[in-house]
Amino acid sequence: MKRILPLLLLFLVFAACTETVHHAKALEEAEALLGSRPEEALRMLDSIGRLDGSMGKRERMRWQLLRLTAQNKCYVPFKSDSTALEVAGYYDRHGTPNERMAAHYLLGCAYRDMGEAPMALQCFQEAVECADTTAADCDKRQLTIILIQTGYLYYTQYMPSLALEQFGKASAAAWGAGDTLLHLNAEEYKMLAYYELSDYTKVDSITDNLHTNYLALGDTVKAKRCVSTSLLLAAKNGNLDRMKKLFAQKYGNAAQNPTLDDAIDTEEKSLLAYYLLRTGQERRAEALFRQAKDKSSNIYTQIRCLKGLFELYSTHGPTDSLSKYARAYCALNDSSNIFKHNETLSRMQAHYRYNRVAAEAENKTREVQERYVTTLLVALLAIVATLYFILLYKRKGEQLSHKIEMQDALYERLNERYRMVSDDMEKLVCDNQQKNSLLKEKEHLLELLRQKISDYEQQNYTGMKKNRQTLESIAAKLHDMAEKGTAASSKLLYELKMQMETCDGQFIEKIRHQDYHLDLREEYICILVQKKFTSSEIAILMGMSPQALSNKKKRIATKLSGREANAADLATYLTDI
């Protein structure tokens, strides 16, 4: 039997270690899949999560971090912030800078999906602050993604200037990380911010640069997408030569070849029709305007088509067609104005909500800081005052103890001399009755010593009486404070203890015995119980609840008796010791 138990324990330890290694290996495999196949990584993490009960705290937190990352990469919206808060709190205490950055970023994504834009922005900012950009292992790609998300959130909140600042930082971070595609992605977001700020020169410059870089990387789809933005700007500025050049880059000779009309995107057909109308190809322009108007759901594209048709029929064409397109253009333009008005109203509301939340957060932070400083100052003053009074009363106690020791030594010397004189007197009486004269002298000396002893005892009795009166006055004062419901100060309790030590030093020495291990408050409670204070009075004086006092008395009685005891037995044990 004695051999089986160690073997069983060894087997359990080995099984636990094997299980931990298995979890760590599975989590590493799932983490390796996050970049290329996040859906498969999410399924793997869900299967690992069914064994949550067998994972330790560290493995469970890592599993939750990876699962939140996979959920975010799979575009599965977060519905709660509870898990992300737990993960962020854990990695704030135990994680590396990269882990803390990822945890706060995921918490911001949760608030973003829940519609809490200010909270999401705060979490994204905390994630950026967690990054250690000077370290060699800093995840700058993750930092770039966080900056892009921050900028896009500012963009959706109609704050393009702040969004542009974040996109610029993201572009620099991606360039520093050596990730060209992510750098170009950040530049695309910068283009959106410049477009919102109506800086079309910057937009043109960025789109040309993006088009060149995407072509160099062989990504023709993204290169053509950049051309689409340049086409819209060229049409806005009426630059027909640039429009022709851009159409040639994207579709070949589309401006001169009607057979390529079907290959052109619906939104860009209206732009090509605008170009054809300006270059005199009115029949083909009319057909493209009609096709784009019928197929597009974009209100601005429809307005462009109706405006083009209205302009076309205003020079030549049936009057009824002109009137029809004029009415349609006016109605759609009114809808566009309503849409713009609502967009402006939403922008103002978003600014108001963001500024209000930011102001509330700033006020709360300032209030918390002020309270913290005030509390710290009060605590420091209380500590300094307490230390001062403790040192003062300790010094007085030492002086009093020294005086008592000197008086005791004097008393012992007088007693010793009295005993010596008594012995001498007895010897003289026994040895020789003829020495009466000497005997009388000794008797006279003895009488003098007796008188001194009597004077000393009278003096000592007067001092003890005064000390007892002081002790009783302190006890009476404590009774009055208890009746008024006022807690006793540390100073008054310390005075009570010092007077008790003077009047009943044996009791104090006994409760201070090293085997009992009583602290200062427990000594105060013992003294109050010894002085016949009731439990309710002691609770008030010590600033404790009755239940807390009962528990305290129970612990003291247990220490004094050396076994489990009740609070009611404390008075008995104090009497016994």
Q: 321-379: per-residue pLDDT in tens?
A: 444 545 555 555 545 444 444 555 455 555 556 566 666 767 777 788 888 888 888 88
Q: Is residue 404 part of a domain?
A: no
* Paired tokens of 135: 């370290």
Q: Which domain holds residue 472?
A: 432-576
Q: Are 99 and 65 a contacting pair, CB within 8 Å?
A: yes
Is the pLDDT score of 442 beyond 60? yes
Confidence of residue 11 (pLDDT cuts 50, 70, 90): very low
- Report the C-alpha gap between 398 and 384 in whole angstroms: 21
Of 414, 418, 423, 412, nearest in space to 446 by CA: 418
Task: Write down the pLDDT at residue 322.
Answer: 44
Q: Is residue 530 part of a domain?
A: yes
- Report the C-alpha gap between 132 and 303 in whole angstroms: 50
Is the pLDDT score of 458 beyond 70? no
Is the pLDDT score of 74 beyond 70? yes
Task: Write down the pLDDT at residue 482.
Answer: 84
* Identity of the residue numbered 48: I
Q: Is residue 245 part of a domain?
A: no
Task: Write down the pLDDT at residue 108.
Answer: 92
Residue given tokens 């009611």 in the structure block: 568
CB under 8 A, 24+ apart: contacts of 509-514: 510/577, 511/560, 511/574, 511/577
| Pairwise pLDDT comparison (494 vs 10), residue with the higher score | 494
* Paired tokens of 137: 């292992």
The 10 Å Cβ neighbour count of residue 145 is 20
Distance of alpha carbon 42 from the chain centroid: 28
- Report the C-alpha gap between 518 and 48 in whole angstroms: 52
- Report the C-alpha gap between 22 and 16 in whole angstroms: 10
Is the pLDDT score of 239 beyond 80? no
| Pairwise pLDDT comparison (433 vs 473), residue with the higher score | 473
Task: Write down the pLDDT at residue 354.
Answer: 58
Question: Could you give the count of Cα atoms lying within 13 Å of 341 in the half-sphere of its Cβ?
Answer: 6
- Report the C-alpha gap between 396 and 403 in whole angstroms: 11
- Report the C-alpha gap between 105 and 78 in whole angstroms: 13
Is the pLDDT score of 153 beyond 80? yes
- Report the C-alpha gap between 375 and 457 in whole angstroms: 53
Of 257, 250, 298, 297, nearest in space to 276 by CA: 257
Is the pLDDT score of 29 beyond 70? yes
Of 158, 163, 194, nearest in space to 347 by CA: 158
Q: Are 41 and 66 a contacting pair, CB within 8 Å?
A: yes
The full DSSP string for 147-166 is: HHHHHHHHHHTT-HHHHHHH
Q: Are 557 and 566 a contacting pair, CB within 8 Å?
A: yes
Distances (CA, A) of 406 to 254, 294, 401, 413, 509: 119, 115, 9, 11, 20
Task: Write down the pLDDT at residue 104.
Answer: 92
Judged by DSSP in three states, 134 sits in coil
Q: Based on the structure, what is the number of domains in the chain?
A: 1
Is the pLDDT score of 410 beyond 60? yes
Q: Is residue 283 part of a domain?
A: no
- Report the C-alpha gap between 168 and 186 in whole angstroms: 7
Q: Write the Ramachandran bin of 115: left for phi over 0, alpha for psi from -120 to 50, otherwise beta.
A: left
Distances (CA, A) of 376 to 51, 363, 370, 382: 46, 20, 10, 10
* Paired tokens of 440: 């009388």
Query: What does the DSSP 8-state code read for residue 131?
Result: -
Of 210, 217, 160, 221, nearest in space to 187 by CA: 210
- Report the C-alpha gap between 204 and 185 in whole angstroms: 16
Of 452, 454, 478, 569, nearest in space to 531 by CA: 478
Q: Is residue 554 part of a domain?
A: yes
Enter the pTM of the model. Answer: 0.52
- Report the C-alpha gap between 170 and 192 in whole angstroms: 14
Distance of alpha carbon 149 from the chain centroid: 22
| Pairwise pLDDT comparison (447 vs 52), residue with the higher score | 447
Q: Is residue 544 part of a domain?
A: yes
The number of residues making up the chain comes to 577
Q: Dihedral (C-alpha) 420, 422, 425, 426: value to the nearest 10 degrees?
A: -110
- Report the C-alpha gap between 507 and 527 in whole angstroms: 9
Task: Write down the pLDDT at residue 2.
Answer: 47
Farthest-apart Cα atoms in the chain, separation: 171
* Paired tokens of 566: 């009740």
**Three-state secondary structure readout of 276-331:** HHHCCCHHHHHHHHHHHHHHCCCHHHHHHHHHHHHHHHHHCCCHHHHHHHHHHHHH
Q: Is residue 165 part of a domain?
A: no
Q: Write the Ramachandran bin of 96: left for phi over 0, alpha for psi from -120 to 50, otherwise beta.
A: beta
pLDDT tens digits along 366-405: 788 888 888 888 888 999 988 988 988 888 888 888 888 8
pLDDT above 90 as % of the chain:
4
Angle subtended at Cα 75 by Cα 70 and Cα 80, rounded to the nearest 5 degrees: 80
- Report the C-alpha gap between 485 and 508 in whole angstroms: 27
Q: Is residue 52 part of a domain?
A: no
